[in-house]
Amino acid sequence: MINVSVIGFGGVGSALTSLLLSNCVEMSINVIEPSPDKAGAILDMAHSMSLYPTKKLHLNNDSLFKNADFVFYSAGIPNTHGESRFSKSAQNIELSRSIFEGVKFTKTPYIIIITNPVDIIPYHVQKYTGLAFNKVIGVGTFLESVRLSHYLSDFSGYSHKDINAFVLGEHGDTQVPAYSITTVNGALISSLPQFNVKVLQNAAEKTKNAAFEIRKTEPGTKYAVTKCAESIMTYLLSEEITTIPLSVRTNAFYNALLGLEKSVYISVPVDISRKGVQINESVVLNDEEIKALSLSAKAVASQL
Protein backbone atom coordinates (compact mmCIF):
# COMPACT_ATOMS: atom_id res chain seq x y z
CA MET A 1 0.00 0.00 0.00
CA ILE A 2 1.38 3.39 -0.96
CA ASN A 3 0.97 6.54 1.10
CA VAL A 4 -0.44 9.57 -0.73
CA SER A 5 -1.07 13.03 0.69
CA VAL A 6 -3.33 15.54 -1.08
CA ILE A 7 -2.77 19.11 0.10
CA GLY A 8 -5.87 21.23 -0.43
CA PHE A 9 -9.47 20.05 -0.75
CA GLY A 10 -10.95 22.70 -3.00
CA GLY A 11 -12.30 21.92 -6.45
CA VAL A 12 -9.02 20.42 -7.66
CA GLY A 13 -8.10 18.59 -4.47
CA SER A 14 -11.52 17.00 -4.04
CA ALA A 15 -11.71 15.95 -7.71
CA LEU A 16 -8.21 14.47 -7.45
CA THR A 17 -9.04 12.57 -4.25
CA SER A 18 -12.09 11.08 -5.94
CA LEU A 19 -9.89 9.92 -8.85
CA LEU A 20 -7.37 8.39 -6.46
CA LEU A 21 -10.11 6.45 -4.70
CA SER A 22 -11.06 4.91 -8.05
CA ASN A 23 -7.45 4.12 -8.96
CA CYS A 24 -6.66 0.38 -8.89
CA VAL A 25 -3.58 0.81 -6.65
CA GLU A 26 -3.92 0.09 -2.93
CA MET A 27 -3.31 3.35 -1.13
CA SER A 28 -3.73 5.33 2.03
CA ILE A 29 -4.94 8.84 1.16
CA ASN A 30 -4.24 11.63 3.62
CA VAL A 31 -6.16 14.84 2.91
CA ILE A 32 -4.48 17.92 4.34
CA GLU A 33 -7.09 20.64 4.65
CA PRO A 34 -7.28 22.72 7.83
CA SER A 35 -10.24 24.86 6.73
CA PRO A 36 -13.47 24.01 8.58
CA ASP A 37 -15.35 25.11 5.47
CA LYS A 38 -14.41 21.78 3.84
CA ALA A 39 -15.47 19.56 6.77
CA GLY A 40 -18.79 18.66 5.17
CA ALA A 41 -17.22 17.74 1.82
CA ILE A 42 -14.62 15.55 3.52
CA LEU A 43 -17.31 13.85 5.62
CA ASP A 44 -19.36 13.25 2.48
CA MET A 45 -16.39 11.48 0.90
CA ALA A 46 -15.67 9.51 4.08
CA HIS A 47 -19.18 8.06 3.96
CA SER A 48 -18.28 6.24 0.72
CA MET A 49 -15.18 4.49 2.03
CA SER A 50 -16.85 1.11 2.60
CA LEU A 51 -17.16 0.97 -1.19
CA TYR A 52 -13.39 1.35 -1.61
CA PRO A 53 -11.97 -1.72 0.18
CA THR A 54 -8.40 -1.12 -1.05
CA LYS A 55 -8.28 2.46 0.19
CA LYS A 56 -7.93 4.24 3.51
CA LEU A 57 -8.84 7.89 4.04
CA HIS A 58 -7.23 10.12 6.65
CA LEU A 59 -7.46 13.81 7.49
CA ASN A 60 -4.59 16.12 8.46
CA ASN A 61 -2.30 13.30 9.54
CA ASP A 62 1.16 14.85 9.84
CA SER A 63 2.88 11.49 10.28
CA LEU A 64 1.41 10.18 7.02
CA PHE A 65 2.42 13.39 5.27
CA LYS A 66 6.03 12.95 6.32
CA ASN A 67 5.91 9.27 5.31
CA ALA A 68 4.30 9.89 1.92
CA ASP A 69 5.33 8.23 -1.32
CA PHE A 70 3.48 10.89 -3.31
CA VAL A 71 2.37 14.37 -2.35
CA PHE A 72 -0.08 16.21 -4.57
CA TYR A 73 -0.03 19.94 -3.94
CA SER A 74 -3.22 21.70 -5.00
CA ALA A 75 -3.58 24.35 -2.28
CA GLY A 76 -3.37 27.98 -3.22
CA ILE A 77 -5.09 31.23 -4.04
CA PRO A 78 -6.53 31.05 -7.57
CA ASN A 79 -6.13 33.92 -9.97
CA THR A 80 -9.35 35.68 -10.87
CA HIS A 81 -10.89 35.25 -14.30
CA GLY A 82 -8.79 37.01 -16.93
CA GLU A 83 -5.72 37.45 -14.70
CA SER A 84 -2.27 36.06 -15.42
CA ARG A 85 -1.32 32.84 -13.63
CA PHE A 86 1.53 34.88 -12.14
CA SER A 87 -0.89 37.28 -10.43
CA LYS A 88 -0.98 35.37 -7.13
CA SER A 89 2.65 34.23 -7.17
CA ALA A 90 3.73 35.96 -3.98
CA GLN A 91 0.83 34.62 -1.91
CA ASN A 92 1.19 31.09 -3.22
CA ILE A 93 4.96 31.06 -2.77
CA GLU A 94 4.49 32.10 0.85
CA LEU A 95 1.82 29.43 1.37
CA SER A 96 4.12 26.76 -0.06
CA ARG A 97 6.91 27.96 2.24
CA SER A 98 4.65 27.61 5.28
CA ILE A 99 3.80 24.02 4.30
CA PHE A 100 7.10 22.64 3.04
CA GLU A 101 9.96 24.57 4.63
CA GLY A 102 11.82 22.43 7.13
CA VAL A 103 9.71 19.29 6.64
CA LYS A 104 11.72 16.14 7.34
CA PHE A 105 10.32 13.42 5.10
CA THR A 106 10.86 9.82 6.19
CA LYS A 107 11.04 8.78 2.53
CA THR A 108 11.90 10.83 -0.53
CA PRO A 109 8.44 11.41 -2.00
CA TYR A 110 7.47 12.70 -5.38
CA ILE A 111 5.81 16.07 -4.99
CA ILE A 112 3.45 16.66 -7.90
CA ILE A 113 2.44 20.29 -8.09
CA ILE A 114 -0.82 21.52 -9.57
CA THR A 115 -0.95 24.93 -7.87
CA ASN A 116 -0.39 27.96 -10.12
CA PRO A 117 1.89 29.38 -11.21
CA VAL A 118 2.89 25.77 -11.81
CA ASP A 119 6.32 26.73 -13.19
CA ILE A 120 7.14 28.93 -10.17
CA ILE A 121 5.85 26.95 -7.20
CA PRO A 122 7.98 23.82 -7.90
CA TYR A 123 11.11 25.98 -8.01
CA HIS A 124 10.43 27.16 -4.45
CA VAL A 125 9.11 23.84 -3.10
CA GLN A 126 12.27 22.11 -4.29
CA LYS A 127 14.31 24.75 -2.50
CA TYR A 128 12.24 24.50 0.72
CA THR A 129 12.35 20.70 0.87
CA GLY A 130 15.86 20.08 -0.44
CA LEU A 131 14.55 17.12 -2.44
CA ALA A 132 16.25 16.19 -5.69
CA PHE A 133 15.18 18.18 -8.74
CA ASN A 134 13.50 15.17 -10.34
CA LYS A 135 11.41 14.58 -7.20
CA VAL A 136 9.57 17.91 -7.40
CA ILE A 137 7.62 18.25 -10.64
CA GLY A 138 4.76 20.34 -11.96
CA VAL A 139 1.89 19.15 -14.13
CA GLY A 140 2.91 21.98 -16.45
CA THR A 141 1.95 21.71 -20.12
CA PHE A 142 1.00 18.05 -19.86
CA LEU A 143 -2.47 19.59 -19.46
CA GLU A 144 -2.07 21.74 -22.59
CA SER A 145 -0.82 18.71 -24.49
CA VAL A 146 -3.96 16.68 -23.81
CA ARG A 147 -6.04 19.75 -24.63
CA LEU A 148 -4.20 20.13 -27.93
CA SER A 149 -4.88 16.46 -28.74
CA HIS A 150 -8.56 17.16 -28.08
CA TYR A 151 -8.74 20.11 -30.47
CA LEU A 152 -6.66 18.41 -33.17
CA SER A 153 -9.13 15.53 -32.97
CA ASP A 154 -12.08 17.91 -33.24
CA PHE A 155 -10.67 19.58 -36.34
CA SER A 156 -9.51 16.44 -38.14
CA GLY A 157 -11.82 13.57 -37.34
CA TYR A 158 -8.99 11.46 -35.93
CA SER A 159 -9.59 9.95 -32.50
CA HIS A 160 -7.86 11.86 -29.73
CA LYS A 161 -6.41 8.49 -28.68
CA ASP A 162 -4.42 8.43 -31.93
CA ILE A 163 -2.86 11.85 -31.39
CA ASN A 164 0.23 12.32 -29.23
CA ALA A 165 0.57 16.09 -28.96
CA PHE A 166 3.32 18.06 -27.26
CA VAL A 167 3.07 21.56 -25.84
CA LEU A 168 6.23 22.81 -24.11
CA GLY A 169 7.37 25.81 -22.08
CA GLU A 170 5.28 27.86 -19.70
CA HIS A 171 1.89 26.72 -18.52
CA GLY A 172 0.51 30.04 -19.68
CA ASP A 173 0.63 32.66 -22.40
CA THR A 174 4.03 31.73 -23.82
CA GLN A 175 3.33 28.01 -24.23
CA VAL A 176 4.86 26.43 -27.33
CA PRO A 177 2.98 23.86 -29.45
CA ALA A 178 5.70 21.49 -30.66
CA TYR A 179 4.28 20.18 -33.90
CA SER A 180 7.67 18.88 -35.02
CA ILE A 181 7.33 16.06 -32.45
CA THR A 182 3.53 15.68 -32.43
CA THR A 183 2.37 12.42 -34.02
CA VAL A 184 -0.82 10.78 -35.26
CA ASN A 185 -0.73 6.99 -35.14
CA GLY A 186 3.03 7.31 -35.02
CA ALA A 187 3.30 9.52 -38.11
CA LEU A 188 4.50 13.10 -37.83
CA ILE A 189 1.52 15.40 -37.95
CA SER A 190 3.23 17.54 -40.61
CA SER A 191 3.09 14.58 -43.01
CA LEU A 192 -0.72 14.38 -42.96
CA PRO A 193 -2.70 16.67 -45.30
CA GLN A 194 -5.65 17.00 -42.90
CA PHE A 195 -3.45 19.04 -40.60
CA ASN A 196 -2.75 22.14 -42.65
CA VAL A 197 -1.36 25.36 -41.22
CA LYS A 198 -4.81 26.77 -40.47
CA VAL A 199 -5.88 23.67 -38.54
CA LEU A 200 -2.67 23.67 -36.51
CA GLN A 201 -2.96 27.37 -35.72
CA ASN A 202 -6.62 27.06 -34.72
CA ALA A 203 -5.91 24.09 -32.45
CA ALA A 204 -3.03 25.91 -30.78
CA GLU A 205 -5.19 29.01 -30.22
CA LYS A 206 -8.03 26.94 -28.76
CA THR A 207 -5.55 25.25 -26.43
CA LYS A 208 -4.07 28.52 -25.27
CA ASN A 209 -7.52 29.97 -24.50
CA ALA A 210 -9.01 26.80 -23.00
CA ALA A 211 -8.76 27.85 -19.36
CA PHE A 212 -10.33 31.21 -20.18
CA GLU A 213 -13.27 29.49 -21.88
CA ILE A 214 -13.78 27.08 -18.99
CA ARG A 215 -13.76 29.89 -16.45
CA LYS A 216 -16.60 31.68 -18.21
CA THR A 217 -18.91 29.28 -16.37
CA GLU A 218 -16.70 27.44 -13.85
CA PRO A 219 -14.58 28.61 -10.90
CA GLY A 220 -11.57 26.94 -12.53
CA THR A 221 -10.32 23.87 -14.31
CA LYS A 222 -10.31 20.61 -12.35
CA TYR A 223 -11.19 17.49 -14.33
CA ALA A 224 -8.47 17.36 -16.98
CA VAL A 225 -5.71 18.67 -14.71
CA THR A 226 -6.47 16.17 -11.95
CA LYS A 227 -6.50 13.32 -14.46
CA CYS A 228 -3.09 14.53 -15.63
CA ALA A 229 -1.83 14.56 -12.05
CA GLU A 230 -3.18 11.07 -11.31
CA SER A 231 -1.68 9.80 -14.58
CA ILE A 232 1.76 11.09 -13.55
CA MET A 233 1.58 8.92 -10.43
CA THR A 234 0.46 5.94 -12.53
CA TYR A 235 3.40 6.41 -14.90
CA LEU A 236 5.78 6.61 -11.93
CA LEU A 237 4.50 3.23 -10.73
CA SER A 238 4.84 1.59 -14.15
CA GLU A 239 7.72 -0.40 -15.61
CA GLU A 240 6.93 1.06 -19.04
CA ILE A 241 8.61 4.33 -20.03
CA THR A 242 6.26 7.10 -21.16
CA THR A 243 7.43 10.36 -22.72
CA ILE A 244 5.35 13.42 -21.81
CA PRO A 245 6.01 17.11 -21.11
CA LEU A 246 6.29 18.03 -17.43
CA SER A 247 7.47 21.12 -15.63
CA VAL A 248 10.93 20.17 -14.37
CA ARG A 249 14.10 22.04 -13.54
CA THR A 250 16.12 22.59 -16.70
CA ASN A 251 19.48 20.85 -16.86
CA ALA A 252 22.73 21.89 -18.54
CA PHE A 253 21.51 20.63 -21.90
CA TYR A 254 18.40 22.83 -21.92
CA ASN A 255 20.13 25.79 -20.30
CA ALA A 256 22.59 25.79 -23.21
CA LEU A 257 19.94 25.12 -25.85
CA LEU A 258 17.72 27.96 -24.62
CA GLY A 259 20.43 30.42 -23.62
CA LEU A 260 19.48 30.44 -19.93
CA GLU A 261 21.77 31.90 -17.29
CA LYS A 262 20.21 29.78 -14.56
CA SER A 263 17.93 26.78 -14.34
CA VAL A 264 14.17 27.32 -14.30
CA TYR A 265 11.13 25.08 -14.14
CA ILE A 266 9.43 24.78 -17.52
CA SER A 267 7.85 21.90 -19.40
CA VAL A 268 10.18 19.86 -21.55
CA PRO A 269 9.87 16.23 -22.72
CA VAL A 270 10.68 13.76 -19.96
CA ASP A 271 10.86 9.97 -19.77
CA ILE A 272 8.84 8.80 -16.80
CA SER A 273 8.52 5.35 -15.24
CA ARG A 274 9.18 3.46 -12.02
CA LYS A 275 12.83 4.37 -12.57
CA GLY A 276 11.96 8.05 -12.10
CA VAL A 277 11.77 11.24 -14.15
CA GLN A 278 14.54 11.95 -16.61
CA ILE A 279 14.76 14.80 -19.11
CA ASN A 280 14.72 13.43 -22.65
CA GLU A 281 17.57 15.09 -24.53
CA SER A 282 17.05 13.11 -27.72
CA VAL A 283 13.89 14.97 -28.77
CA VAL A 284 14.73 17.26 -31.69
CA LEU A 285 12.80 20.52 -32.00
CA ASN A 286 12.93 22.82 -35.00
CA ASP A 287 14.61 26.23 -34.85
CA GLU A 288 11.32 28.13 -34.54
CA GLU A 289 10.23 26.00 -31.58
CA ILE A 290 13.60 26.37 -29.86
CA LYS A 291 13.39 30.15 -30.22
CA ALA A 292 9.84 30.23 -28.83
CA LEU A 293 10.80 27.88 -25.99
CA SER A 294 13.73 30.13 -25.10
CA LEU A 295 11.41 33.15 -24.87
CA SER A 296 8.99 31.13 -22.76
CA ALA A 297 11.73 30.00 -20.36
CA LYS A 298 13.01 33.57 -20.01
CA ALA A 299 9.47 34.79 -19.27
CA VAL A 300 9.32 32.30 -16.39
CA ALA A 301 12.85 33.25 -15.24
CA SER A 302 11.80 36.89 -15.03
CA GLN A 303 9.27 35.93 -12.32
CA LEU A 304 11.81 34.24 -10.03
pLDDT tier at 81 (50, 70, 90 boundaries)?
low
Least confident of 27-36, 72-81, 204-213: 72-81
| 92 — pLDDT class (breaks 50, 70, 90) | very high
Name the residue among 204, 187, 208, 184 with its Cα closest to residue 85.
208
Q: Which amino acid is at 122?
A: P
Question: Could you read off the pLDDT of 266-291 as tens digits, one per residue?
Answer: 999 999 999 999 999 999 999 999 99
Q: Which residues belong to CATH 3.40.50.720 in the chain?
A: 2-138
Looking at the predicted structure, is the pLDDT value of residue 107 above 60?
yes
Q: At residue 84, does pLDDT exceed 70?
A: no
- CA 86 – CA 118 distance, rounded (Å): 9
Q: Which CATH number fits domain 2-138: 3.30.1330.60, 3.40.50.150, 3.40.50.720, 3.30.70.1710?
A: 3.40.50.720
Please enumerate in sequence order all residues whose Cβ is within 8 A of that of 229, keeping only pairs 6 or more positions apart, or say none.
16, 72, 74, 112, 114, 139
Question: Where in the chain are all domains bearing CATH 3.90.110.10?
Answer: 142-301
In terms of Cβ atoms closer than 10 Å to its own Cβ (0-12, 13-18, 19+), residue 187 is: exposed
Q: What is the mean pLDDT of the chain?
A: 94
Q: Give the pLDDT score at 220.
A: 87
pLDDT tens-place string over residues 230-272: 999 999 999 999 999 999 999 999 999 999 999 999 999 999 9
What's the topology of domain 142-301? Answer: L-2-Hydroxyisocaproate Dehydrogenase; Chain A, domain 2 (3.90.110)
For residue 37, the 8-state DSSP code is: G
* pLDDT recorded at residue 86: 65
Share of the chain above pLDDT 70, in %: 97
Write the pLDDT tens digit of every residue in 142-164.
999 999 999 999 999 899 899 99
Average pLDDT over residues 37-48: 92
* CB 129 within 8 Å of CB 270: no
